[in-house]
Amino acid sequence: MDIYRIIKRPLHTEKSVSDKEKSNSYHFEVDRKANKIQVKQAVEKLFNVKVRQIRTLSKRSKPKKTRFGPAKIHTWKKAVVTLEEGNTIDLGY
């Protein structure tokens, strides 16, 4: 799988910002088919850093009400990437 398709976008939430400050961890939305090894290789090549740990979780779809009727939010995968000491990623926040 192409490394540019594995990492979809960084997540900017209160939890991701606090994790970045406390434990040098970054949150990303990743491709649902990617495993931990592929995510680790993609982050190391894209951002030129050393990864210590990867945690992944799948966010299930859930129903949502819209003015056009019921809809579903798509299933997606999240990766929490912990970097080695001294490594950082500049994501603009």
10-residue averages of pLDDT along the chain (93 residues): 94 94 96 97 97 96 90 92 96 80
Its pTM stands at 0.88
Q: Are 71 and 61 in contact (CB under 8 A)?
A: no
Q: Which of 45, 46, 8, 60 is nearest to 30 (CA)?
A: 8
Domain extents in the chain:
3-75
CATH class of 3-75: alpha beta
- Residues 93 and 83: their CA atoms lie apart, in Å, by 17
> What pLDDT is attached to residue 59?
92
- Residues 44 and 20: their CA atoms lie apart, in Å, by 17
